[in-house]
Structures are given as structure tokens and as C-alpha cells.
Structure 1
């Protein structure tokens, strides 16, 4: 036994020497983020919570706006009350003029790359020529409440309001802005989130009015004014406030909006008002307030008079609305935290039968799912609008999903519609309430929301075909060439692969955190803590990172560093497996193993051939050439060896004797980190008797050597095979090296046909259409 333990120690010393020869075995993957994060202060604590002196600004709005359905334009006038809760004296205010992103001299067009191909569509050519349309804001006046002009400076998509006198802390300033602009066709090459869609068959317009009024920029403790220019991709940082909005439209239009309708008796017909009242007590199914037949009748006429719809909204960061005579409207009530919320949908006939069946039910489901995991939805309304689009605003969002003209649709259209409704309604939580800066950190709203969307999808249907969330679905992006990758912590405008980077990768990272790194209980508690700490406030990435650690007692700096600040992929190779058995010291067993090994070693090809080619050796022909060793049995157990073994066993404890007789196997496995991103080791051991088990080794195993680690696994059973990451939890980009013995795995490729349909629209054949033909 002394010799056995000497052998084990000798093997370990060889490994240690080998590791030392490689030089430095760890870089900084397990170092704390430290100076990479903003220092905590009285406004934001080291725990990730708002500090005792946390503050944020407020901007209340009273707006009157009129829609011109003949010329596709709006004219508006707004009163802004800006309240300075900061400790700073302000000499000017910054306002966002997002419509100017489409103006003729917009930098959006100037900084966009373009090229000429051998075949160019008219839309591609128009995007190069840009346009001569009269778009962008016309600011008619900026005045104080006495009607006196206030000096302003317009810098493209930003406007500086130079205050008549400095605005001290705790004071407020009121001013008015009068403006107008021409609404653009968002279905054209100009694109964008707001605008109109024209329906040629019935000659009507559907307006999605967002980013439609001059909006206050955010002034914060961590950045001062967020006045970065709007190029079209990076979304918004906005200030909370209360809104009173009067919207004047043709009398036959239906309006949906942020906030609560204040004058339903004036704008709804008696029948619609009665149905609206019924909907407020319908908790199990939507009530149709304006039917498709009624909407189709309205499509054929044109009202000559107007109606003004009045909406109030409290504590929202933005305000959006929609208007059309095409709308079908349905609604149902949802109970959340003892309060009633109205889930509603507006859609044209082009959206049916999908929208009538699904939209409002999906809205209700989303509110319930998100509320359970964060906080009870605090607003009184949540609206989904079918607009061949996908964009979110407080209490209202614009979504896509249209069947073919015959009412059939593909599964892709159905699930695409459900997913986009979940996603856009979910944005009410992130960032409409947990109000992060989308211009700077897209992942804080898109990534967190996509993660929440994934969970809500799975609660809708156990077999839901979620595109983002499962770890293995991010692998194609993680395999991208280095020059196509940026860290998640990258400004919105600087990201090449925006969808994978801002949506899919952070959603995947959070799902891995929940399922594999932290576990659901710890993750869910910490995530809810973050949501509740920062609802109706302005969090930064540091606040999220710190809260997740603070509420779970899990050190995640290595994870944030790798997944959010880095671009390395996961590629861990199951590199080598050595099998050891504990030697019990019995000389009979030792000599028997030695004989087997000797016979195997000496039975090589030359000896095999010589059995036939050499008829007689010298030793066989001449007995006098033999000596003691020619008859000596080297594998015989001597009496001295038997005696020594008995004495050895007598000196052992019962525990030691049981271990020696257990037949325990020891598997020494070496893992190599090829990709660079450190992750836990999830190892499935398959045994010869058909059973299996899984062991989870935390990522900290890499802390002293980030490139290669070796670990011994004691097993009572004999192993037949080993699989690394059997349930595809870590987004490993090369699964071929996750097996022992190695397995050849087929790669898949997909053949698809390019679709030219509008976003979210079904086109061509589908199983539903074929079934109807039978």
C-alpha cells in the first residue's frame, strides 16, 4: 500500500509541474468588476438600491392636438411644467425633437452606409436618393406663460430651451410649445416606428402616433442631460410626468391611447358605450365594442365633422395614440393585485380572425405573467394595436400579424403575432416603468423584456416555438467572426448585429443565470427585488448588477464580465479521461493483473508472424541454454508476500478495509476552455448498467487556471460514456468535443425561400389553407 500511495502522489506532482510550465494560468475573468462600474454614492448605493438622496425630474404635459386626415399631418400645442428635483441650478432645458430624424438634412441618412448592386429595387434606390418630402418638426413658437418668446437653439433632433432665469432646486418652470409636422408613410423606405399606413382597397389610413410631440430629455444624477442625437435605432430616455391630452380627429375615427378616456359618453355611440361598460366586468373573455361589420361600414364613408377624445395618464414617461375609422375594438378586464386593468385591442379587418381570437387574451396573459415575476401592473389600461409594426409606449403598443385574405395563416404568423404582442406589452414593465436609458443601454429594456417574454411564451403553450431564450439558440451568433461582435454593454448605435446583441444574448444570459448559475429561487427573488426597487425610477446597469448579487449572495462579477462586457464564446472541451481503480494490495490480484499486462505487451506483430516462420528457437533446440530464469514463475505469489499482505490488512481500520474492498473507480477528467468564456461544468455520467447521473461543478473551478482544469470523480459503477452539458445549458458553440468517447454529430442546414411580404403578414400556401381545400 505504501507503494500505491507513492504512485498517486507522483502522478499529482507531474500535473502540478506541467501547470507551472504554462506560466500565468488566469487573467482577470474572476476579478471583481471594481473600477469598471460607477462608484456608489448618496444617490445609488453599493447594494444596487436607490440612495437616501436619490432624485429624478418630473415633466407634466397638457396637450391639444388635431389630426388632418386629408393631408396626413397634425398640429399641436402643449404646456409643459418642468419640476427641478435635482440639487442643481439649471440654466437651460433639453427637449427631444425625434421627428427631425426624418428631416431632409437629417444625419441619419448621412451616416448610413450605401452601395450599388447589379440589381436595385426602387425602394433601395429611393433610400439612396433620400427624399424631398417635407418632414420634421415645424416649431411655431416657444413661449413662457405670459406669451413671451423664449430663446431656443435647435440642433437636429435636440432643442435647447434657454431659461429666462436659472431654475433653482425644488422650483418649477412652465412654458408652451406650438408645433406641427407632416406624418410620413412608415410602410415606405423611410420606415420608422410611428407614421401612417394607407389601405388602397378602401382608401383609409391607420395612424400610429408616437414620438409625436416635443419630449423632455432626462436630466440625471449619473449623466446630467441625456441629449445624444436620435439616429433611428437607439430608443429613448424620458422623464416621468402626468398627461392631459385632447385629441381631435374625424368623427368616424376610433382612437386608442395612453391613459384613461375621460369622455366616453361624448365620443362613443350608445351601443359602444353599453358594450364598453360590459367589458369592464368581463374577466373571462373579450367583449367586442366596435364590431368588424360596423368598422367596415365606416370605412366606406367620410365624416365631415370632428370629435375630441380626452385622455388622462399619471406617472408615465411618454404618451402615444392611434386613430382610424378601420378599427375593430375589443376589451376585457384583468384583476391584478386587487385592482382592475382593462386589456384592449384595436385592429382592422385585415387582422382577423387572428386578432379577435388572440390579441386581447395575449395582453391579459402578459400582464399576469410579468406581474407575478416583478410587480403588479400599476396602470389602468394595456392596449395592443395591429399596425404591421412592433413598438412600445406606456399602456399602448403597435404590433403585427395578418392572415391571408382568405383568413388562413401559417404557424409562423400566428406565433410571431403572439410573441410580438407579449414583447411589446411587456415593455410596459421594462422600460416604461423600470425606466432605463434605451439610448445608451438597449439590453436593459430589450434584453430583460425578451427574457420575460420567453417565460410568458412557455406559460402560453408548453410547446411554444420560442426564438430567443434557450441557451443553444444563441450559438450561431456566438460563433460569429470577432469583427462582427460587440459586448452587450455597447451603445445602441454602435452594434452591428443588433437583434442578437441587444435582445437575444442578454435574454439568454439571464435564462442561464436563472436555470444554471443561480437557480430559480435565488434568481426570481433578486430579479423581483430589482424590478420593485427601480419601478418608476431610472436604473443603470450597475444598479441591476449590484442588486442581483445583493439579494442573492451570489458573486456574479465573473458572469457580468464574460457575458456582458466580453465577446468570447463558450467552448469547453472534454479533453481527456483517465480511469483508475484503487489497488487493494492483494498480491494475488496484483500478480494476475501483471500477467495480463505482460501477455498483452509481449504479443506484438513480429511474434505473431514468427510463430509460423521460426520452426525452432535455440532455447527449444538446446536444453543446456536454459537456466533458473527460464523456469522461474515471475507471477507466483510468494509466502513472504502473502504474510506481508495479511499484516498490512490487520493494521487497517474497518473503514479503510471497506474502501479497499469497494471496487471504487476514479475517473480523472481534463477540461479545456477553448472559447474563453468560463462556465460551470455540467457532466452526465452514463454507466454500463444503463443508469446515469449528472454532476454540476461551479464555474469557480476555473478561477486558478482559466484554460485547463482537471478533476477526479469517484464512481462506484463503471462508466460507459460521458457527456458535457447534456441539456445544452451553457450555449457551447462546439458540441462535438463534449463527448467521451467522441461522437460524430451531423450538422444541419436549412433551405428557405425569401419572403417579400410585409412584416408579420402571411403569404402563399399554409397548412390551414390546404386543409380548407380538401
Structure 2
């Protein structure tokens, strides 16, 4: 740091120059005014349905669709056979001459848009037979809906037009406002292998686990923003569904255990007396799960397939969708939890391949998730929450039920990453009950509104689950690599779901990180938590848009965040603050004793040269040392001595100062001018840590508005009582700065990049996880599978 001395007169004239610097007129070199202007026309104009505050307007409306469904799961042929009666309520002010139905299973037709627009190439290193069969279009089964009939309430056929994953149903007469219409649909389709959202998993023992979703023709959303939301289902953009009441009768093999959205209405008919007794016991247990179907019983069922069928009846009110799971392999456990005065039945369905992890953790994680999310949004309103073990990885969510990965090794051991990955995915998918199952955003258009908000809440719930939980997303430092990636490989968070590149970082991690930064650094926890909860309260069981979220967060907190939405949600610029230079200023006390001592130290340091050191040895005797007659006045004169004249002049100077000026002069204040550069583009708060000579530290925080007059380069003066030895930008990794090498002044030495010397691995054998290593060493055993 360069040190300059300021006389008291110079100091008094110094402050106006600070304000002059801040008031520089914008130039072509920076764009501060645009960055800190309001979003304005980028957001839709408020109206009577959606207010400027972000709350639903006084004339807000939304449609409703009720379903009465009968479905059979054909286990022998992996097929769904169904019929439904749909009652659609028109609460809009518009006449509707037709209705749009979603046929999401048509994603799997050979000529579907999602299939024909997939890209890729042949892997020259080799491909599996299944991959080649898919490329060749040689699947034996045909997938997608077979719509057998669409009829009105009197049984008359209705004219329909199918456009890939959407079907238009033409009504004989337009559906008027505040009227309803009922119609029926019959259909069937072949179930696909589980692809991350729905399907079956086949096991070598000859059994199937079914996870059935987007399985029935569903009403599309008609709202005040888009009219009909009938964007095609291409696979990446998820679902947009209206709320309604469901009654669903599911016919499955006699030995299957079925779980579904809602409450089962006929457990007494489909469960044995032993199972009923266990279920009733579970409903009284708030501490640990009770096994309703044990592992031994599930193993026996999968080995000895029963014949016949049974029908399970479920009822769910005010939900936006319905999904179910079915298998004879299922272990089933349950426990109660109380969330803000409401008892909720938490359950898990899993095959032995999930143990011992699932029996130990799944249902407990479900209960924890409901409590954590409810504390930050609204109390969980439904009577049931379910976690199902679906394939080794990934997860998918539906109202009251979720399909989750996380599978141990065949010997029952597992790595730490598998354990925490499973807990994390259960939290995430169960958490989706809040976003978007309750706060019902348009997933087909805005993935971040459910995935990003949910990932943020997931991060908080993970930290509440276990101290030092290794969360993958949420903390700013974990998004740095993505924000450093090439701009042409990124799209703004505010991109349409099907157009997103790097989907995980964009739709999950970046918005979750942005919310964490708002909570911890920009707004503070108290303001953020209240505003976030207000958004959930306002839009529970409604259809919010991004503007409703942005406006509510500002309205409920009193914090202007338009600059933040622009930088983080509408752009792809990174954060990179540079502490380019620090100048150190101290007031010249004009005390001759101090000034002359300081000058002596400077002069002596100048004389500490290599030549001087060598001359002490090489010059045996100088001329003056050899001949004292060469001495005069200056050979004994002490230029650093304080004279009476010096003291008198200093006293006269002090007499001219006011009391406040004398205190300031004698305070020993240091003034540091920090030259800061915004190299990344996104303006963010400036957090600076000063490390003092005595080893103590102090943190200075300045809001993002510090950049509002110049978003490229600014200077900031920080006065301190103690001398600073080191300045550090963003010391707690709060702003996702992509380059920390320029965050210190004086610069810190770079850390070396480590590399390994290694020999080629032999055999390609997978390394053992720590539990296997411990078992091999003979210190403990882990339960395997039967």
C-alpha cells in the first residue's frame, strides 16, 4: 500500500473530491444508469388480476378440473388401461369454444417433436444394443396414447384434433363463464422403462416396480397470462396443470402394494388384518417408522407371485396432478409427524435393493422436509407425504408422492456420497410439494420457479438435517465454475424451459444461489424470510409468474432488487470484483519529534545497501577518520534533533486549531482509498475485510448501490484507527466471485496446482467404499439383502 501524508489543511479539502468522483457523468466506458434503472416494461403491466405489489388482483381467477378415473395396471404386458370423467369449471370471463388436453405419453411416439429434434451421433467407441435399437427405430412396442373415445356427458362423441402432445376437444357450444362441462375419455398405452419421470424398473427376479405419472389425459391450463398453455411436451420443460379434486380407482395384481396421491379410501378391503394393525400403529407413532410390509414379506411376495387382482381407491382434493406406484416387491413403512398442529402420515415404498439406507432414512427425511419447508412457506396442507425408491439415481415429484433414487451396493454398503445424495434427493422431491404442487408455477415455461426455489429450500433443509451437510448447491462458491463457463454455453435464468443449456446449473443451482445471496448478503435473513414466506402465502394454490415473485419480494421487504433480477436472472455476466490498488493516507501531525524520527528511519533505510555493507569491510579507514582536522560543524551536527525553534513553531500551529481539529490531529487515524473494479459486469455488494497489525480483523459492508454512478471503477475511502496490513474482498465467499486471485491487496501468493505421479491402473476394478474397506478389515458388518 502506498502511504501519503496529509496535512490537516489538505485533509479538510480532501472530502469534496470524494463526492466529485462519485458524481462523474456516465461515459461510454460504463453503464451504471441502465443497471440500476427499474425493470419497467420488462415486466408485464399490472392489472386487475395481478397487482403491482405482486399479489393476486381483486379479479384474479383460475380454472378447475375434477377427475373420476378408473385405471388398470397390466403387469403382464406393462400397460395402462384407463377411463376417466373430467368435469371442467370455467371461472374465466371468456367463452371457451374448445378445451385443450395434454397427452404427455405422446412424447414417446416415434414422430414426436421431442424425439425428432433430439441431437447426437454414433459413438465410435461402441454402443449398446438398446441404444442402437432406439436409433434404428426398431422398438417392438409402440408407445404413446391410444385414445379410444372422447364423449360428452350424454355419451355422444366429441370432435378432437391431436397435435403431438396436445389434443383439442371441440365443444358443441362454447363453455360460458361460471359454467362447467363434463366429458369422458378412454385410453391405453404401453408403459416405458423408467426415464426419470415415469415408467417401470425391471429386476432380474422377473418383477417390475411401477412409477406411474403423466399417465392420464390431463387438462391444460387456461389463465389470464397465456390463454391456453399448450406448449408441446418435449421432455425438459415439465408440467403445467390446474387444480382439482380426484377420485381414482387403481386395479393392480392381487399381491401388489399400491401408493398414490391422496388418501386410500378402502385400506380395510385391500390390506390384511396384520397390515391394518401395523398401519394403525404407525398412525400413533411420531418417533420412528413402523413397518407395514417387512422385508421378509416383500421377498416372499416377489418369489411367489399370486394370481388375481384388487382395486385400491384413492381420493385427493385440491391437487394439481395424480401419480401412483405399484409393486409386489415393496417394503412399506410409515410414521406420523405433526406440522404446526396438523398430523401428517409420512410413508415410504421401497424394494430390498434400497436397504439398509431406505428403511433407516427415507420416512424420517420426509417428516423433516415437511417441517422445514412449512416453516418457510405455508403449513403443509395435505394429509399424506410419500417417498418411493425409483432406480439408483434421480428423482421426480407429484402431489403427496415422489419417486427418488439412492441405492446402496448389493452387499448393503454405501458411500458417503450415496447416503447424502439419497437424503438430498428425497428432501428435494418431497419439497416440490410446495413448489410447484402448492405454489403452482408454470413449469413448462419457467423451470427456475419450481426447481430454483425448491433447491434453495432444499439447501436450508439439508443444513438443518446434519451439521456440515455436504450440499452441492446453494452456497455461492459452488456456482463459480458455471458462471466462468463460456457465455455462448449459457442462457439467462429467464429462458424458456426447453431452451435451457446446462440445465442443472441454470434452473437449479444459479437461482438457488441467487436466493441464498439475497438472504445472507443483500437483504438479510429477517427481510428475506418474511418476503419469501409472503410470496408463498399469496400464491398458495394459485398460478404465479416470475413478475409476481419479483414484485412480492420487493413489496414485502422494501428493498429495490431490480438491479439484482437484471444481473442474475436476465443476463449471463459473472461476478468479478477486483481490488486493484490501495492508497494509505495519514494526517501529518506536524509534530517535529515525530516528523524527524520518521525521516531518520527513511534515510537510514536508504543507506542499507550492499555497497555500504561491503565498504565497512573493504575501506579500512576514511580520510576524515585518519585526519581529525578534516572535521567541522556538520560532522557533529544532528539534523534529526528537535530544536527549541521547532517546538515553538509547533506550539504556534496547535494554537490555531480548534478542539475538534486537535483531536483529529492526535487521533492517529488512517485513511485508505480502495480502488475497486467491476470486471465481471454484475454489480454486487462490496464486502471488505481489513487485517490489522495486531492480528485483529474488521469487516466493512457496502450495498450494491455503491456502483450506481459507475459500474466499472470506483474508489472508496475507509478510515481506521489501526494500521491495515492486508485487505481482502469477499472474505466469506458471499457473492460468487469467479476470480479470487485479484481479491487481496497486497496480492497473496498463488497456490500451486497439484498433480500426481501415478501408474496405470490395472484391471479397471472399482475402488471400495469406506464401509466395504472397514468390513474387509474385520471391524464391523453392515446388513445386506436377502
Shorter-chain-normalised TM-score: which range? over 0.9
**Distance apart, 1:693 and its partner CA:** 1.6
Change beyond 3 A, Cα 1:127–1:550: same
Q: What secondary structure, in the 3-state scheme, does the structure 2 residue paired with 1:685 have?
A: strand
Match 2:100 to one of 85, 94, 113: 94
Q: 5+ unaligned residues in a row in structure 1: which ranges?
A: 753-761
Q: Distance in 1 between matches of 2:77 and 2:18?
A: 83
Change beyond 3 A, Cα 1:14–1:507: closer
Q: What secondary structure, in the 3-state scheme, does the structure 1 residue paired with 2:455 have?
A: helix
The answer as to whether partners of 2:78 and 2:191 remain within 8 angstroms in 1 is: yes
Q: 5+ unaligned residues in a row in structure 2: which ranges?
A: 759-764, 779-786
Q: What's 1:453 paired with?
A: 458
Q: What's 2:228 paired with?
A: 225
Q: Distance in 2 between matches of 1:21 and 1:178?
A: 66
Match 1:400 to one of 380, 391, 405: 405
The answer as to whether partners of 2:29 and 2:712 remain within 8 angstroms in 1 is: no
Change beyond 3 A, Cα 1:219–1:21: closer
Change beyond 3 A, Cα 1:16–1:592: farther
Q: Distance in 2 between matches of 1:81 and 1:103?
A: 28
2:141 corresponds to 1:140: no
Q: What secondary structure, in the 3-state scheme, does the structure 2 residue paired with 1:276 have?
A: helix
Q: What's 2:388 paired with?
A: 385
Q: Distance in 2 between matches of 1:557 and 1:153?
A: 43
Q: Distance in 1 between matches of 2:289 and 2:617?
A: 92
**Distance apart, 1:120 and its partner CA:** 2.5
**Distance apart, 1:543 and its partner CA:** 0.8
Instruction: State the structure with bigger RCO (CA 8 A, min sep 6), 1 or 2.
Output: 2
Q: In the TM superposition, what whole-angstrom CA distance separates every residue of 1:328-357 from its partner, at most 9, and x where no partner exists?
A: 111001112322110000011111111111
Q: In the TM superposition, what whole-angstrom CA distance separates every residue of 1:639-666 from its partner, at most 9, and x where no partner exists?
A: 6664443233223333322221121111
Match 1:468 to one of 470, 473, 477: 473
Q: What secondary structure, in the 3-state scheme, does the structure 2 residue paired with 1:582 have?
A: strand
Higher alpha-carbon deviation: 191-200 or 386-395: 191-200
The answer as to whether partners of 1:114 and 1:128 remain within 8 angstroms in 2 is: no
The answer as to whether partners of 1:25 and 1:704 remain within 8 angstroms in 2 is: no
Q: In the TM superposition, what whole-angstrom CA distance separates every residue of 1:54-88 from its partner, at most 9, and x where no partner exists?
A: 10000000000011111110111100000000111
The answer as to whether partners of 1:192 and 1:232 remain within 8 angstroms in 2 is: no
Q: What secondary structure, in the 3-state scheme, does the structure 2 residue paired with 1:362 have?
A: helix
Q: Distance in 2 between matches of 1:365 and 1:81?
A: 36
Q: Distance in 1 between matches of 2:500 and 2:12?
A: 52
Q: What secondary structure, in the 3-state scheme, does the structure 2 residue paired with 1:334 have?
A: strand
Q: What's 1:117 paired with?
A: 123
Match 1:296 to one of 299, 319, 322: 299
Q: What's 2:41 paired with?
A: 35
Q: In the TM superposition, what whole-angstrom CA distance separates every residue of 1:401-429 from its partner, at most 9, and x where no partner exists?
A: 11112111111111111111000000000
2:664 corresponds to 1:659: yes
**Distance apart, 1:590 and its partner CA:** 3.3
Q: Distance in 2 between matches of 1:737 and 1:259?
A: 55
2:536 corresponds to 1:531: yes
Q: Distance in 2 between matches of 1:101 and 1:74?
A: 16
Q: What's 1:755 paired with?
A: none
Q: What's 2:586 paired with?
A: 581
Q: Distance in 1 between matches of 2:558 and 2:719?
A: 30
Q: Distance in 2 between matches of 1:462 and 1:656?
A: 52
Q: What's 1:756 paired with?
A: none
The answer as to whether partners of 1:109 and 1:130 remain within 8 angstroms in 2 is: no
Q: Distance in 1 between matches of 2:602 and 2:549?
A: 60
Q: Distance in 1 between matches of 2:574 and 2:6?
A: 46
Q: What's 1:108 paired with?
A: 114
**Distance apart, 1:231 and its partner CA:** 0.6
Q: Distance in 2 between matches of 1:150 and 1:159?
A: 12
Q: What's 1:758 paired with?
A: none
**Distance apart, 1:39 and its partner CA:** 1.2
Q: What's 1:154 paired with?
A: 162
Change beyond 3 A, Cα 1:683–1:271: same
Q: Trace 1:502-651 onto structure 2 (pairs within 5 A).
A: 502-594=507-599, 596-597=601-602, 642-651=647-656
Q: In the TM superposition, what whole-angstrom CA distance separates every residue of 1:131-163 from its partner, at most 9, and x where no partner exists?
A: 433100001111101111111110000001111
**Distance apart, 1:24 and its partner CA:** 4.9
Higher alpha-carbon deviation: 406-415 or 632-641: 632-641
Q: What's 2:277 paired with?
A: 274
May I ask how many residue pairs the two structures share in their alignment?
760
Q: What secondary structure, in the 3-state scheme, does the structure 1 residue paired with 2:36 have?
A: coil
RMSD: 3.0
Q: What's 1:285 paired with?
A: 288
Change beyond 3 A, Cα 1:559–1:590: same
Match 1:170 to one of 167, 178, 182: 178
Q: Trace 1:205-224 onto structure 2 (pairs within 5 A).
A: 205-224=208-227
**Distance apart, 1:769 and its partner CA:** 1.5
TM-score by length of 1: 0.92
Q: In the TM superposition, what whole-angstrom CA distance separates every residue of 1:292-347 from its partner, at most 9, and x where no partner exists?
A: 11111111223321101000000000000011111111100111232211000001
Change beyond 3 A, Cα 1:352–1:599: closer
The answer as to whether partners of 2:6 and 2:587 remain within 8 angstroms in 1 is: no
Q: What's 1:366 paired with?
A: 369
The answer as to whether partners of 1:290 and 1:330 remain within 8 angstroms in 2 is: yes
The answer as to whether partners of 2:6 and 2:588 remain within 8 angstroms in 1 is: no
Q: Distance in 2 between matches of 1:627 and 1:750?
A: 67
**Distance apart, 1:21 and its partner CA:** 10
The answer as to whether partners of 2:6 and 2:585 remain within 8 angstroms in 1 is: no
Higher alpha-carbon deviation: 608-617 or 447-456: 608-617
Q: What secondary structure, in the 3-state scheme, does the structure 2 residue paired with 1:50 have?
A: coil
The answer as to whether partners of 1:434 and 1:536 remain within 8 angstroms in 2 is: yes
**Distance apart, 1:748 and its partner CA:** 6.0
TM-score by length of 2: 0.91
**Distance apart, 1:594 and its partner CA:** 4.5
Higher alpha-carbon deviation: 740-749 or 372-381: 740-749
Q: What's 2:705 paired with?
A: 700
Higher alpha-carbon deviation: 593-602 or 730-739: 593-602
The answer as to whether partners of 1:217 and 1:225 remain within 8 angstroms in 2 is: yes
Change beyond 3 A, Cα 1:606–1:405: closer
Q: Distance in 1 between matches of 2:156 and 2:479?
A: 56
Q: What's 1:198 paired with?
A: 202
The answer as to whether partners of 2:387 and 2:426 remain within 8 angstroms in 1 is: yes
